[in-house]
């Protein structure tokens, strides 16, 4: 496997791409409330990425994806397509996944969960899924194997009574949207795929965690992935840089508490 190591110049461009993706999530957050349609979320993000950031929404036309962001509500695991007929209602949970491609040609990819109104089950699932992401990020440093990250995610999800989606994974990222390596969120690595991290690698971790069983299916639109048993699903994603001493969260938001990384 040939995992790209970024040069200092590329790392600067990745930092900018990560900041931009985070800024889209910060911009849209106040609008994500009961009543807004996922179509409107898409349009606002598209306009901000193009007009304010001078960048491109990477999902648009990516292998034919029709919109600029992914909006995945409740039992939708990932790749939900924004739609003017689909409005958020109380009790919903939604993943919003943003990927920006900068004018320099580098990608920043990040997603968060929104809880609309109150849902005890939804809130617990979203919290545990974020903990899965954070526990794995905390382990990132040169020499650590991908399987170590995967076991941290799977261990916490399953100890919480949930399952880890196997059909989608994280990925290397840079000038390419999806580069090597594949970043599994469960321990399914073949020995040759279980690479050691090295300084200068950039990749995403983006666990998808289900209340019910782990199986998914893709709807006839060719994109929307749902849980087979229609149980709730959550996902959080960051783009990371492996540094000499640990990790930099390239898509960190200003209000995000990453103090767990201080060690
Ligand atoms: N942002 C997604 C990821 O985390 C990929 C979306 S591809 C799309 O890798 F075509 F659905 F937008
Ligand atoms: Co991604
Ligand atoms: Co993403």
Does some domain include residue 43? yes
Is 256 domain-assigned? no
| Digit-coded pLDDT (tens) for 49-105 | 999 999 999 999 999 999 999 999 999 999 999 999 999 999 999 999 999 999 999
Cα–ligand 3 centroid distance for 111 (angstroms): 6
Ligand 2 center to 207 CA (angstroms): 10
Distances (CA, A) of 70 to 99, 111, 256, 261: 9, 9, 21, 28
Confidence of residue 2 (pLDDT cuts 50, 70, 90): confident
pLDDT in tens, 5-56: 999 999 999 999 999 999 999 999 999 999 999 999 999 999 999 999 999 9
**The pairing of beta strand 238-242 with beta strand 247-249:** antiparallel
Q: What is the pTM of this model?
A: 0.98
Q: How far is the CA of 55 from the centre of ligand 2 (A)?
A: 17
CA 173 to ligand 2 center in whole angstroms: 8
Residue 255 lies in a domain: no
Number of separate domains in the chain: 1
97 CB within 6 A, ligand 1: yes
Atom of ligand 1 nearest to the CA of 237: 4
Banded model confidence at residue 200, pLDDT cuts 50, 70, 90 = very high
- Counting atoms of ligand 1 from 1, which one is nearest the CA of 98? 1
State residue 24's pLDDT score.
99
CA angle 198, 204, 205 (to 5 degrees): 105
Residues with CB under 5 Å of ion ligand 2 are 109, 204
CB of 65 closer than 6 A to ligand 1? yes
Query: Which residue(s) pair with 98 in the sheet?
Result: 110
Percent of the chain with pLDDT over 90: 98
pLDDT at residue 248 above 70? yes
Task: Take residue 48 and report the two structure tokens written for it.
Answer: 């901000």
Domain that holds residue 71: 8-250
Q: Which residues contact 63 (CB under 8 A, 6 or more apart)?
A: none
- Which of 57, 62, 95, 111 has most ligand 1 atoms within 8 Å of CB, for mutation? 62
- Best residue among 38, 99, 182 to mutate for probing ligand 1, ranked by most atoms within 8 Å of CB: 99
The answer, yes or no, to whether any atom of ligand 1 lies below 6 A from the CB of 102, is no
- Reported as a pLDDT band with limits 50, 70 and 90, residue 1 is confident
Is 258 within the bounds of a domain? no
Distance of CA 233 to the CA centre of its chain: 13
Residue whose Cα lies nearest atom 8 of ligand 1: it is 59
Residue 100 belongs to a domain:
yes
How many C-beta atoms surround the C-beta of residue 248 within 10 A?
18
**Ligand sitting nearest the alpha carbon of 82:** 1
Token pair belonging to 22: 């985070």
> Which atom of ligand 1 lies nearest, measured to the CA of 223?
11
CATH classification of the domain holding 190: 3.90.230.10
How much of the chain, in percent, has pLDDT values that exceed 70?
Answer: 100
* 88 within domain boundaries: yes
In a domain, 47, yes or no: yes
Ligand 1 atom 2 nearest Cα: 97
Tens-digit pLDDT profile for residues 157-198: 999 999 999 999 999 999 999 999 999 999 999 999 999 999
**How sure is the predictor about 263, in pLDDT bands with cuts at 50, 70 and 90?**
low
Mean pLDDT of 237-248: 98
Structural domain includes residue 241:
yes
């Amino acid at each position: 496997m040939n995992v790209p190591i970024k040069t200092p110049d590329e790392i600067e461009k990745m930092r900018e791409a990560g900041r931009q993706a985070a800024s889209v999530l910060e911009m849209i957050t106040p609008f994500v409330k009961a009543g807004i349609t996922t179509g409107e979320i898409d349009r606002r993000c598209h306009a901000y990425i193009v007009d304010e950031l001078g960048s491109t929404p990477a999902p648009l036309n990516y292998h034919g994806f029709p919109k600029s962001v992914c909006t995945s509500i409740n039992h939708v695991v990932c790749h939900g397509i924004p739609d003017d007929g689909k409005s958020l209602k109380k009790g919903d949970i939604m993943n919003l996944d943003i990927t920006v491609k900068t004018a320099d040609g580098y990608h920043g990819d990040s997603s968060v969960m929104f809880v609309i109104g109150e849902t005890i089950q939804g809130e617990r699932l979203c919290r545990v899924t974020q903990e899965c992401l954070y526990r794995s990020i905390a382990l990132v440093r040169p020499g650590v194997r991908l399987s170590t990250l995967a076991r941290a995610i799977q261990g916490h999800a399953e100890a919480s009574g949930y399952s880890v989606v196997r059909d989608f994974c994280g990925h290397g990222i840079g000038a390419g949207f999806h580069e090597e390596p594949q970043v599994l969120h469960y321990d399914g690595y073949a020995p040759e795929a279980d690479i050691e991290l090295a300084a200068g690698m950039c990749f995403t971790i983006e666990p998808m965690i289900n209340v019910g069983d782990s199986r998914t299916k893709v709807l006839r639109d060719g994109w929307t992935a749902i849980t087979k048993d229609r149980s709730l699903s959550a996902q959080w994603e960051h783009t990371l840089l492996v540094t000499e001493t640990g990790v930099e969260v390239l898509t960190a938001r200003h209000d995000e508490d990453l103090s767990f990384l201080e060690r």
